[in-house]
Amino acid sequence: MTWLAPLVVAVPLLSGALVAGGDHVAPRALQNAIGVCGSAATFVLAVLLFRAAERHEVLTWFGGWRPRSGIAVGIDFAVDPLAAGMCALIAGLSCAALVYSITYMPEAAKLYDTLLLVAAGSMCGFVLSGDLFNLFVWLELTAVAGYALTGFEVKQLGPLQGALNFAIVNTLGGYFVLMGIALVYARTGALNLAQIGSALSTRRPDGLVIVAFTLVVCGFLCKAAVVPFHFWLADAYAVAPAPVCMVFAGVMTDIGLVGVARVYATAFSGAFGLHAHAVGDLLLWLGIVSALVGGVMSLVQRHLKRMLAYSVICHIGIMLAGIGLLSSKALGGVAALLLAHGLATGALFLVAGMLLASLRSIDELRLRGRARARPWLAALWFVGTIALIGPPYVGAYLGHAMIDDAAAELGRHWVQPLLWLAGALSGAALLRAGARIFLGFGQATAEFLSPEVREDPPDRGANLPLLGGTTAVLAIAGLVVSVVPGLGPRVDEGAARFLDRRSYAEHVLHGGPFGFKHDLPFAIEHTSLESVIYAVVATLLALAIAAVGLRPPRSLSIVEPALAGLKRLHSGVVGDYVVWLTVGTAVVGGVWAVTLR
């Protein structure tokens, strides 16, 4: 099976090169076919890879350079089920984006398809790679494709500003990762994650190890848009074309989290050993703060894509908090949540795109009541929103519930209500917007919302049934994630493998075997009564907040100054963002300097 993993990366990259190479030669239909078939083939390969990784070890050494006496000579893909599943999600969303774009952006230069395909291939490379520098290469490739896709609408200032802020913050994040790599290499003489893990675990972590870890993690957190590295995301995702946003929000942000989890689990967990909770606690708190900031900020948006962008920050925060719990149950929950969130948020971005194509605006107030005659769009919007909030056994519920269980096992009962509250906040924003746009509820003005963002609609001629069909597939898939038979035990088992540093190192460096649990049950995951109650309360809370948002009472003006301050921080000025990036890195490093020794 050594041929399978490289192809998951090579097929989309080659399809991208093929599309670009035929830019002025091949007819448009052929180009579209190459793009769609290339990404669909990648999806099939990724699913096969997932099946293979569940049953036996999948380890590829590029160029056949196997390690010699425990020293890695080349670069490896050590595939675990979670990574392979992530590849399937990446390829699936990219395929959906390419199908959606055929009529949504018919005028798009073919290079647009190329960039989407390259981004898909590079993200797959990132999640599969077992080499620290190789992670950096794929991170940069993803980013380079992302900058150009964000700035795609070169006539408007908004997309250009979004792309610049995105590019500058993420480039600096990439340099931090690279400096961290240089430090790790200086200490261990290795770039392979397994080998680094073994080398670092032999002695107590000192300043070098802690700072190297800080730099690598902060670099990845820039990509993942975690507070205070998150500012660029709302600018970039608000303005990129809808199908691009779908890929960005569904998977590209998340690979930053994959990077944090991967690097911690394979390379640093041994070194920090007894102090692991200090690492986890900071990630947990960063996650909770991001989730709450994202939730509150999404409540004050009127531009649907910007609202969704803050909802992404909110859910990324919830996932980071799950990672911070450092248990396999929680990580499995994060994987389930990532899947549900990717599909549901993707669908919501696509609905926003359809609104822009058909009603020429995606402004909540301008569109008030104007989409009453579009019940299908309304259905898709509410399905996506409900999948994100996660009432019992719907959408994101499974992930939330697994994180709940893990928190309860660790005795951290306070984590659960905070995460549910954050999800309810961003869900409330989406419900409010849906009620105003599709049902015509609420007042025509709302002073607490951020100023209007202009966005030019795409050319007319979008084939709405095709767009709607693509969106419906995602929305429904997102809705049923929690009741997929056998998903729970599988993500749980995958997460346990993801976190097992010793077996991983033994396997990668010496070819040792993994223990596999065969015959995992195909049952719907059982969840605790606590989670059911939280989910019901969160759903009701979201409805209540949405109702208040439609007709805010005067007494709410007491929070106005705090909101204004929070909004002012999101200034759109890249110099400020760079300052927050520096502050964030210094603070994260400082906290770990105190707690990790």
Partner 1 sequence: MSYLPFAVAGWVCLIGLYGVATSRNLIHLALCLTVTQSSTYVLLLSVGYVRGGTAPIFKGVKLGTRAVDPVVQSLSLTDIVVSVTVLALILALGLDVFGAAKTVDPDEIAELQG
Partner 2 sequence: MTRRTRIVIFLTAALGLAALFGWAFAGLPAFGNGSHVYAFLLNHVAVPERHTTNVVAAIVFDYRGFDTLGEEFILFTAVAGVVLLLRPVEREDPEDRGTTASDALRFVGVGMVGAGVLVGLWLIAFGYITPGGGFQGGVAVAAGAVLLYFVSNYSAFYPLGHVDGLDPVEALGAGGYAVIGAVALVSGLPFLANLLGPGSVGTLVSGGSIPFLNWASGIEVAAANLILFSEFIREYLHPARQDG
Cβ pair 363, 452 in contact under 8 A = yes
Tokens 């519930």 -> residue: 401
Residue 567's H or E segment, with its range, is helix 560-569
Tokens 């099946």 -> residue: 51
Angle at 466 between CA 453 and CA 84, to 5 degrees: 85
Q: How far is the CB of 550 from partner 2 (least distance, A)?
A: 33
Q: Which CB atom, from 21 or from 486, has the smaller least distance to partner 2?
A: 21
Q: Which of 273, 511, 513, 590 touches partner 2 (CB under 8 A)? A: 590
Binding of residue 456 to partner 2 (CB under 8 A): no
Q: Which of 28, 44, 175, 189 touches partner 2 (CB under 8 A)? A: 189
162 binds, among partner 1, partner 2, none (CB under 5 to 8 A by kind): partner 1
125 binds, among partner 2, partner 1, none (CB under 5 to 8 A by kind): partner 2
65 binds, among partner 2, partner 1, none (CB under 5 to 8 A by kind): partner 2
Q: Which of 89, 141, 371, 481 touches partner 2 (CB under 8 A)? A: 141
Give the rounded distance of the alpha carbon of 519 from its chain centre: 30
Q: Which of 30, 44, 208, 540 touches partner 2 (CB under 8 A)? A: 208
Q: Which CB atom, from 450 or from 528, has the smaller least distance to partner 2?
A: 450
Cβ pair 494, 85 in contact under 8 A = yes
The β-bridge partners of 469 are none
Binding of residue 533 to partner 2 (CB under 8 A): no
Q: How far is the CB of 523 from partner 1 (least distance, A)?
A: 46
Q: Which CB atom, from 452 or from 459, has the smaller least distance to partner 1?
A: 452
Sign of CA dihedral 152, 20, 93, 434: positive
Binding of residue 2 to partner 2 (CB under 8 A): yes
Q: Which stretch binds partner 2 (CB under 8 A): 314-322, 451-459, 462-470, 580-588?
A: 580-588
235 binds, among partner 2, partner 1, none (CB under 5 to 8 A by kind): partner 1
**What angle do helix axes 304-324 and 328-359 make, rounded to 10 degrees?**
180
Burial bucket for residue 307 (CB in 10 Å: 0-12, 13-18, 19+):
buried
Angle at 301 between CA 297 and CA 306, to 5 degrees: 90
The β-bridge partners of 78 are 59
Binding of residue 6 to partner 2 (CB under 8 A): yes
**What is the C-alpha separation between 547 and 433, in angstroms, rounded?**
10
The closest alpha carbon to 109, from 18, 16, 28, belongs to 28
| Residues in contact with partner 1 by the rule CB under 8 A | 133, 137, 140, 144, 147-148, 151, 154-158, 160-164, 167-168, 171-172, 174-175, 178-179, 181-183, 185-186, 191, 234-235, 238-239, 300, 306, 450-451, 453-454, 567-568, 570-575, 578-579, 582
75 binds, among partner 1, partner 2, none (CB under 5 to 8 A by kind): partner 2
Q: Which CB atom, from 556 or from 579, has the smaller least distance to partner 1?
A: 579
Q: Which CB atom, from 151 or from 468, has the smaller least distance to partner 2?
A: 151
Which residues, at least 6 apart from 344, have a Cβ–Cβ distance to it below 8 Å? 384, 385, 387, 388, 395, 396, 474, 475, 478, 479
Q: How far is the CB of 165 from partner 2 (least distance, A)?
A: 15
Cβ pair 134, 75 in contact under 8 A = yes
Q: Which stretch binds partner 2 (CB under 8 A): 16-24, 307-315, 346-354, 356-364?
A: 16-24
Instruction: Using CB under 8 A, count the residues that bind partner 2.
Output: 79
Q: Which of 28, 65, 372, 469 touches partner 2 (CB under 8 A)? A: 65
Backbone angles phi, psi at 59, to 5 degrees: -135, 125
Tell me the C-alpha to C-alpha distance, in Å, between residue 19 and each of 8, 113, 119, 402.
18, 7, 14, 42
**What is the C-alpha separation between 70 and 438, in angstroms, rounded?**
61
Tokens 């300043």 -> residue: 207
Amino acid, single-letter form, for residue 449: L
Q: Is 109 helix (H, G, I), strand (E, B) or coil?
A: coil
Amino acid, single-letter form, for residue 363: D
Residue 76's H or E segment, with its range, is strand 76-79
For residue 451, cis peptide bond before it (omega within 30 degrees of 0): no
Q: How far is the CB of 458 from partner 2 (least distance, A)?
A: 14
Q: Which CB atom, from 269 or from 298, has the smaller least distance to partner 1?
A: 298
Q: Which CB atom, from 213 or from 264, has the smaller least distance to partner 2?
A: 213
Q: Which of 13, 91, 95, 386 touches partner 2 (CB under 8 A)? A: 13
409 binds, among partner 1, partner 2, none (CB under 5 to 8 A by kind): none
Q: Which of 23, 452, 456, 560 touches partner 2 (CB under 8 A)? A: 23
Q: Which CB atom, from 235 or from 405, has the smaller least distance to partner 1?
A: 235
Q: Which of 51, 456, 461, 571 touches partner 2 (CB under 8 A)? A: 571
Binding of residue 17 to partner 2 (CB under 8 A): yes
Amino acid, single-letter form, for residue 14: L
Q: Which of 30, 44, 55, 71 touches partner 2 (CB under 8 A)? A: 71
Site for partner 2 in 79-118 (CB under 8 A): 109, 111-112, 114-115, 118
Q: Which stretch binds partner 2 (CB under 8 A): 131-139, 330-338, 364-372, 530-538?
A: 131-139
Cβ pair 394, 482 in contact under 8 A = yes
Binding of residue 414 to partner 2 (CB under 8 A): no
Burial bucket for residue 522 (CB in 10 Å: 0-12, 13-18, 19+):
exposed
Binding of residue 61 to partner 2 (CB under 8 A): yes
Per-residue string for binding with partner 2, 146-175, x by CB under 8 A?
-xx--xx-xx--------------------
